[in-house]
Amino acid sequence: MDNRKHIEVCFTPGEYEYFKDEYEIVVVIDVLRATSAICAAFHNGIKSIIPVSTIEEAQEYKDKGYLVGAERKGQIVEGFDFGNSPYSYMNDELKDKEVVLTTTNGTKALNIAKGAETVVVGSLNNLDALCEWLVEQNKNTLCLCSGWQDKFNLEDTICAGAISEYLLSTGQFTSDEDSSIAAKYLYLSAWDRYMGFLKASSHRRRLKNLNLNEDIKYCLTPNQTNVIPILKDGKLVKL
C-alpha cells in the first residue's frame, strides 16, 4: 500500500472547487505581492492580519478605527493606510498591531480556502521554513496559487513547484495531478534565475510599470524569514 501523502497544485482560485475537500493543509501563494508582504509583516512583529476580499469590507473596518491596507491593480486604494508592498510592513509602528488587508487576488484566495482544516501562507520568502514544517505535518497538502483575476500566473506556480519539489524529494509525498507536474518543471527551469525567468511575466511587467522593481526583487528572494502565517478564526497569526 502507498502511504505517501499528496502534494498537489491548483493554478487558480477558480479551480479550487475541484480540489477542495481532499487536502488537510492548503498553502495560499501570491508571490507578487500579497503573501510576501504578509510574511514580511509577521517577520517584523505584526500581531495579526484580517484578510478581507472586498473594499467594502475593508472600509467597514476602517470606519471602526482599524488600520487597513488596501490594494487594487498594484496601487494603494485611496483613503486607506497602506497597500501591499512588503516594505510598508517593515515599520515599527505596526509592531504588535492588528491590521486588515484586502488585495486583488491574495486575500481573495485566503478567503476561498478558509474552510480547509489548516490554511497557511506561502511565498519564496519563507520557502524552506514552510517546507520543513509541511514535511513534519505529513498531511495531504494543496498549494493554491492566487493567480491574477482567476487566471494562471508564472510566479505563484513556480513557488508551488518549489514546495512540491522539496516535499517530493523527501519520499514522503507523491503528486498525481498534471498541474503539479507542470509546476515542478516550471520551478526546475527557473530556480536559479527567478528575475530573468519572470522578466516577461504579466504581473512583473505590471509592477515594473508602477516603478515597483524593489518590491519585485524582495518578493523573488527566497528564505528571508522563518515565519509561517496561519489562519485561525478568520485572522492570520504567526504559527
User: Site residues (CB under 6 A) for ligand 3SL?
Assistant: 30, 32-34, 71, 74, 84, 103-106, 146, 207
- For the bound state, the minimum distance from the C-beta of residue 3 to ligand 3SL, rounded and expressed in Å, comes to 36
Nearest-approach distance from CB 36 to ligand 3SL, in angstroms? 8
Quote the least distance from Cβ 203 to ligand 3SL, whole Å: 6
- Nearest distance from C-beta of residue 38 to ligand 3SL, angstroms: 10
Match 508564472 to its residue by C-alpha cell.
154
How distant is the alpha carbon of residue 180 from its chain centre? Answer: 17
**In the complex with ligand 3SL, which residue's Cβ is closer, 105 or 179?**
105
Closest CA relative to residue 10, chosen from 150, 121, 204, 189? 150
Residue (30 or 165) nearer to ligand 3SL, CB = 30
Which of 139/235 has CB closer to ligand 3SL?
235
Q: CB of 207: closest distance to ligand 3SL in angstroms?
A: 6
Whole-number Å distance between alpha carbons of 215 and 225: 16
> Between residues 25 and 121, which has the closer beta carbon with respect to ligand 3SL?
121
Please report how close the Cβ of residue 110 comes to ligand 3SL at its closest, in angstroms.
9
- CB 212 → ligand 3SL: shortest distance, Å? 8
For residue 211, how many other CB atoms are within 10 A of its CB?
8
Residue type present at position 43: H
CA distance 205 to 199: 7
- Of the pair 162, 219, the CB lying nearest ligand 3SL is at 219
Residue 192's φ and ψ, nearest 5 degrees, are: -100, 10
CB nearer ligand 3SL, residue 33 or residue 184:
33
Nearer to ligand 3SL, 38 or 227 (CB): 38
